[in-house]
């Protein structure tokens, strides 16, 4: 007999009673605070607003049950929404049934992929994306998101498919802008920027606890939405000033719509779904880890993927939109005092209640206000520190950031992220194929060998100590060979060369054969090649080879041993 207990997630099996009230309160706070955001992200994805509400129910429950993070909240997220729109809008008219179908298919495909990666323990795939590439992608997407808000902020109808075409069309109709909408949107942005930069420090300096201040800051967007909607009601801004509002939200429970998924589109959507999956994985794991770090917990990357994947599959059931670990959503959850995923379950059920009640006031939230808050949220997504740090530390990483960001802006999100992955891998390969090789000598009468150019070292006449600072593989054979030959050619009095292998972690077959050739060549020049400090696993592998059996030089445990023998 299977015990019911086994079906419960671990955190629930041993649920600490004292967390109950904190979790319930946090869950209710999250429900209300992320309400406007959920609507806004659905619109950003080109979907009807209620889709954002649906996507906050089932996926949140599933993730709470299966995921490994204690405080991450899953639901509609800015990047996944933007990515959904970016992938689908060239294929179908936003908002049409065909478009909804494709959104559900995209969620299902990417969810299934992420789930499969998790089950196959392929979480390491997420590490195909380096941090500068992720940051560059997010920065590029954030700028795209902001640019996409401009038509809503100005309340000018935008024609065209791509963001740039839309902006051009808006620019040509600037005379038709709606000042009431612009005023609302502008005010929203100013208030949010002020509150996000100044409110928390001000509250803290007045003696409010840090966590409470953080929560109050998170409350501002909701207050702005409430007040502006109140203004719409009181002054009839929508009727009198043509301020656009959300409009009809379909109430009641969504229909379960497996039928809406059209798998014949899957071929078209497979690559976008894969990229969405990769981005989702990388972002989710990174966020779960940074949240866990704050709370000293451990995250299981592969279980994270199983959770994220199943959430997206769940999202697709309600004909919904792809979901992800939301930055704001999780931050609100943490600030509201959530201790376990129970908070997310409460939030999901809370959203279900709202959907069932179907509060009609949501329909009169002005779009310009939502556009303003999305823009400000997008600004905060651009991680300027990362690119500055990358620039100082490593130009190649900075290049990967810029390349990915520009790729996203110019080519679109999916090609942009593909470009980023390519840039990251190329940089890595290029570096490995241009290895650092140092001529070293012994420091004083110690046993340490250091770079001759950096330290005053002792050398032996006719003996050259070279340290190869890279694994040897097919990609850097030519570089290593030409460096070795150059060293030998420039010193005709050499009779022994010692390669210090302390930093050579692997030698592939191509490199082994090249090494044998080099040894042969050296022998012809009257130079004996020795090896020192070979790594254990590498030595195991090399023992059986012809090279090892036939080489004339010796294998030394340490550079110092070689030094003493050749002295």
Taking CB under 8 A as the criterion, which residues in 355-374 touch its own copies?
none
19 contacts its own copies (rule: CB under 8 A): no
Nearer to its own copies, 128 or 182 (CB): 128
The token pair that represents 406 in the structure block:
């520009």
Q: Is 550 in the site for its own copies (CB under 8 A)?
A: no
Identify the residue among 251, 411, 558, 566 touching its own copies (CB under 8 A).
558
The binder of its own copies chosen from 98, 244, 431, 483 (CB under 8 A): 431
Residue for token pair 């917990």? 297
Does 216 participate in binding its own copies (rule CB under 8 A)?
Answer: no
Q: Per CB under 8 A, does 215 bind its own copies?
A: no
* 202-235 per-residue burial string, b: 16 or more CB within 10 A, e: under 16: ebeeeeeeeeebbbbbbbbbbebbeebbebbeee
The Cα diameter of the chain in Å comes to 96
Q: How many CB atoms lie within 10 A of CB 290?
A: 12
Residue 3 and residue 34: Cα distance in Å, rounded? Answer: 36
* Closest residue by Cα to residue 529 from 466, 448, 449, 471: 466
- Compute the least distance from the CB of residue 515 to its own copies, in Å: 12
CB of 66 vs its own copies, minimal distance in Å: 20
Which of 179, 509, 550, 552 binds its own copies (CB under 8 A)? It is 509
Quick count: other Cβ atoms within 10 Å of Cβ 109? Answer: 25
If one asks whether residue 438 binds its own copies (CB under 8 A), the answer comes out as: yes
Residues numbered 125-144 forming contacts with its own copies, rule: CB under 8 A: 126-133
Q: Which stretch binds its own copies (CB under 8 A): 27-35, 161-169, 341-349, 514-522?
A: 514-522
**Given 21, 91, 124, 271, the residue binding its own copies (CB under 8 A):** 124
Which range, of 19-27, 96-104, 290-298, 490-498, touches its own copies by CB under 8 A?
290-298
Give the nearer residue to its own copies in terms of CB position, either 11 or 513. 513
Which lies closer to its own copies via its Cβ, residue 172 or residue 482? 482
Please check whether residue 344 is in contact with residue 64, taking contact to mean a CB–CB distance below 8 angstroms: yes
Judged by CB under 8 A, the number of residues near its own copies is: 77
CA distances from 193 to 150, 212, 374, 405, 483 (A): 17, 19, 12, 23, 56
Q: Which residues pair with 499 in a beta bridge?
A: 466, 531
Question: In 10 A of CB 75, how many CB atoms?
Answer: 32
Residue 403 in the binding site for its own copies (CB under 8 A): no
Strands 463-469 and 436-442: antiparallel
> What's the closest the beta carbon of residue 435 comes to its own copies, in angstroms?
8
**487 near its own copies (CB under 8 A):** no
Closest CA to 339 of 201, 211, 223, 203: 211
Instruction: Please report where in the chains the tokens 């050579």 appear, as a residue.
Output: 504
Q: Write each residue from 377 to 396 as x if it is in contact with its own copies (CB under 8 A), else as -, in one continuous string.
A: ---------x--xx-xxx--
Choose the stretch contacting its own copies; rule: CB under 8 A; options: 33-41, 48-56, 292-300, 342-350.
Answer: 292-300
Residue 456 near its own copies by CB under 8 A: no
Structure tokens at 399: 């290049």
Q: Output Rg (C-alpha) for the chain, integer angstroms.
A: 30
Q: Cβ of residue 350: shortest distance to its own copies, in angstroms?
A: 33
Q: Are strands 528-532 and 496-500 parallel, antiparallel or unpaired?
A: parallel
- Smallest gap from Cβ 442 to its own copies, in A, equals 12
Rounded Cα–Cα distance for residues 521 and 245 (Å): 79
Report phi then psi at 45, rounded to 5.
Answer: -80, 0
Q: Which is nearer to its own copies, 244 or 535 (CB)?
A: 535
| Tokens, residue 336 | 């509201």
Binding of residue 552 to its own copies (CB under 8 A): no
């Amino acid at each position: 007999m299977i015990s019911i207990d086994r079906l419960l997630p671990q955190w629930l099996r041993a649920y600490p009673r004292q967390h109950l009230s904190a979790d319930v309160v946090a869950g209710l706070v999250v429900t209300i605070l992320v309400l406007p955001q959920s609507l806004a992200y659905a619109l950003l994805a080109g979907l009807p607003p209620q889709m954002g509400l649906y996507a906050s129910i089932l996926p949140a429950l599933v993730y709470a049950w299966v995921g490994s993070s204690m405080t991450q909240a899953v639901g509609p997220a800015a990047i996944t929404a933007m990515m959904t729109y970016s992938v689908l809008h060239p294929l179908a008219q936003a908002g049409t049934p065909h478009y909804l179908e494709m959104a559900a298919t995209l969620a299902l495909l990417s969810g299934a992929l992420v789930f499969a990666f998790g089950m196959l323990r392929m979480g390491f795939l997420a590490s195909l994306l380096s941090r500068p590439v992720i940051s560059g992608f997010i920065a590029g997407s954030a700028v795209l998101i902001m640019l996409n808000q401009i038509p809503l902020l100005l309340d000018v109808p935008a024609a065209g498919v791509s963001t740039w075409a839309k902006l051009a069309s808006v620019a040509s109709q600037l005379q038709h802008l709606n000042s009431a909408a612009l005023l609302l949107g502008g005010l929203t942005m100013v208030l949010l920027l002020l509150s996000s930069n100044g409110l928390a420090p001000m509250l803290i300096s007045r003696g409010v606890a840090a966590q409470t201040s953080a929560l109050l800051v998170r409350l501002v967007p909701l207050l702005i939405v409430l007040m502006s909607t109140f203004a719409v009601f009181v002054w009839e801004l929508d009727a009198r000033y043509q301020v656009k509002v959300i409009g009809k939200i379909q109430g009641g429970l969504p229909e379960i719509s497996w039928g809406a998924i059209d798998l014949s589109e899957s071929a078209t959507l497979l690559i976008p779904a894969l990229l969405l999956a990769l981005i989702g994985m990388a972002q989710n794991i990174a966020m779960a880890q940074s949240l866990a770090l704050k709370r000293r917990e451990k995250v299981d990357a592969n279980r994270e993927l199983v959770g994220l994947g199943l959430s997206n599959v769940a999202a697709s059931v309600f004909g919904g939109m792809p979901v992800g670990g939301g930055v704001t959503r999780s931050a609100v959850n943490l600030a509201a005092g959530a201790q376990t995923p129970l908070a997310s379950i409460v939030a999901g059920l809370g959203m279900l209640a709202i959907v069932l009640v179907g509060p009609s006031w949501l329909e009169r939230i002005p779009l310009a206000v939502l556009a303003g808050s999305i823009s400000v949220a997008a600004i905060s997504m651009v991680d300027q520190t990362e690119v500055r740090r990358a620039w100082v530390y490593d130009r190649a990483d900075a290049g990967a950031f810029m390349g990915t960001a520009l790729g996203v802006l110019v080519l679109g999100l999916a090609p942009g992220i593909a470009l980023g992955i390519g840039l990251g891998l190329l940089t890595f390969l290029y570096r490995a194929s241009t290895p650092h090789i140092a001529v070293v000598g012994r420091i004083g009468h110690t046993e340490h060998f250091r770079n001759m150019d950096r330290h005053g070292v002792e050398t032996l006449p006719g003996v050259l100590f070279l340290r190869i600072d890279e694994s040897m593989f097919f990609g850097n054979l030519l570089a290593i060979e030409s460096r070795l030959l150059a060293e030998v050619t420039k010193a005709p009095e050499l009779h022994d060369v010692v390669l210090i292998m302390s930093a050579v972690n692997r030698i592939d077959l191509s490199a082994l054969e090249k090494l044998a050739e080099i040894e042969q060549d050296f022998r012809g020049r009257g130079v004996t090649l020795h090896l020192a400090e070979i790594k254990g696993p590498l030595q195991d592998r090399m023992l059986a080879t012809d090279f090892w059996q036939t080489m004339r030089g010796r294998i030394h445990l340490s550079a110092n041993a070689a030094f003493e023998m050749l002295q």
